[in-house]
Each structure stands twice: as structure tokens, then as C-alpha cells.
A and B are shown apart, each in its own frame.
Chain A
Amino acid sequence: MIELDGVRQLLPRRRPMLLVDRVLEVVPGERIVAAKAVTCNEPWYARLPEGTPAERLGYPSALVIESWGQAAGILSRLSGELPEGMMLLAGMSDVLVHRTVLPGVLLEHRARIVRSLGDHLIFEGESVVDGDTMVSIGRMVMAFRPESALLPPDGDGR
């Protein structure tokens, strides 16, 4: 089990984009199970009127995917020597949104390493609530790139 302090050390993300609360189980180089608690106090709901019906407070699916990806990122950090550079989301395929995630649930992200190809890592898995799959990820590709490849237009990378 890795608690929040350990998660913070493994991921560069900070509030409110740190979307993993705890690692429940990990087998380095193979798989991870991580938890993310969803609440109605998250900033994504700030612009909605106070009386918005609960069933309309669907958690943004893109953030469920981001949260799952952060769990995959932790797995990669714990899986031995990594290629140099920043870990970036390069692409995804066969991502299915099965159900809407609502506040009050504990998302359980299950991610598995499918393949390692040089400076790319490929994952698959799903996000589950009480045994029901909410989002399934057919394939997520993470790439490691030097920071210089991403410099803003007014930086040295122009």
C-alpha cells in the first residue's frame, strides 16, 4: 500500500490535478491497483449551481481517464529504469465510457503493462466502482520525450 505522501513523490502532479489518492496493490513491471475518491467538492463542479441534481454531477470522463493514466504512471515509475525525459500521453485507443461516475464513489483503477517498446510504454485496464466497470482502456501509450521537445513557442524550442 502506498499512501498519499508516497503518491506525491512518484507523480509530478499537484492539486487539483493529483488524481490518485492511494495505491492499493502493485506488482512492478506488471500491474497496479490504485484508488481515487470522487467528491462533489472538486473544482470541476464549482461553476454549477448549488442545487444541481446529484445525477447531473457526472465526473468528467476525461478526468477519469487522466486519473487512470496517473495510476499507470505510478506503475511505470515503480517498474525499474525508465527512458530519460518527461512521460507524456502519446495516444489511446478503444477507450469505452460504460457508465457515468458520480460523487461519493471510490474509483478503483486497474492498469497493466502490455508492452515496453524503447521509449514507449503501453498499458491497458479499467476503472471500476463496486465491481462495475465505468471506463475501460483498450490501450494507452505513454512516451518519454526530452523537455526541450516541448518548449513553448517563445522558448528555445522555436
Chain B
Amino acid sequence: MNLTGQNAERHEQAPAAMTAEITHTASLETLLAAPCPDFPVLPGVCVLEYLRASAEAYPPAPGLRWRAVDRVRFLGAVFPGEELTVRLTWQRSGEDEWTGLATANTVRGTAASARLRYVGEADR
């Protein structure tokens, strides 16, 4: 999957929290156009992949590993060529554990929201 972040803005709010905003142009590549050629909509897991890639592009600490999707809700469709803005807030949820609260939005509203959990070496 080709995930290219643009216009990324990152600023620390406090030592235990951090926010970032990343804008992607949703691409349904030739490969991914194959699933439903008559109805090209980005599969939900691809939206999840944008959230994951955004989180891992702007981690709150080095060496974190994706551990869990505590929750994800898919609220609207995303179509090829649409701009997808990911808003991400990191919260420390354990000694070596961080939770990324992420939403993916199109001009039509929120497409998905998720809580992604990452752990460092100590929690593996």
C-alpha cells in the first residue's frame, strides 16, 4: 500500500501526550482496484492501514511495536482520490505502552475512528 503523508503537523502538548495531523490522498492502486471493479471503495482494513501507517510515521517513542486494535469503527466510505486526513493523539497508557487515538476524515465526515495500542520492549 502506498501511503504518503503530506502536510504533516506534529507538536508536543505534554510529555505524556502528543498530537499529529497527516493528510493522505486515498489511493486505490491498480492492485486494489481489482476487488470490486464495479464499485471502487477503499476496504475498511485499508483505512485501518492508513491509521496504522500514520501512527508509525509519528511515534511518541522509538522502538514501539503494534500490539492491538482496542477498537475501530468504520463510519463512512472512502473513495479513490479522496483526501483522507488522519488526526492522531498519543496517550501514554502504561510504563512502556502508548495508545494512539486516531480518526480518518474525508470532506464528508469521519470515515473511521480507532484506538491503536503500541508497546515497547518492556511490555513484550
Contact = CB atoms under 8 A, between A and B. Distances in A.
Contacts of A38: none
B122 interface: no
Contact of A89 (B1, B45, B107, B108): B45
Interface in B94-124: 107-108
B67 A96 contact: yes
Interface stretch (B14-22, B31-39, B85-93): B31-39
If over half of A's interface residues share one DSSP class (helix, strand or loop), that class is named, otherwise mixed; here it is mixed
5 contacts: A17-B34, A62-B49, A88-B74, A91-B71, A153-B107
B8 interface: no
Contacts of A125: none
Interface in B43-77: 43-46, 48-49, 52, 66-74, 77
A92 interface: yes
Interface residues of B, number: 30
Interface of A: 12-18, 43-44, 60-63, 65-66, 69, 88-97, 147, 150, 152-153
Contact of B74 (A15, A62, A89): A89
B68 A94 contact: yes
Contacts of A17: 31-32, 34-35, 43
Given A13-B35, A17-B32, A62-B49, A95 B73 contact: no
Contacts of A152: 41, 77, 79
Contacts, number: 76
B41 A62 contact: no
Nearest to B115: A93
Nearest to B69: A95
B49 A95 contact: no
Contacts of B70: 93-95
A119 to B, nearest CB: 15
A152 B78 CA distance: 8
A-B pairs, top 10 by smallest CB distance, nearest first, are A89-B44, A95-B69, A17-B35, A66-B45, A91-B73, A62-B49, A62-B45, A150-B77, A93-B71, A152-B79
Contacts of A44: 1
A65 B66 CA distance: 14
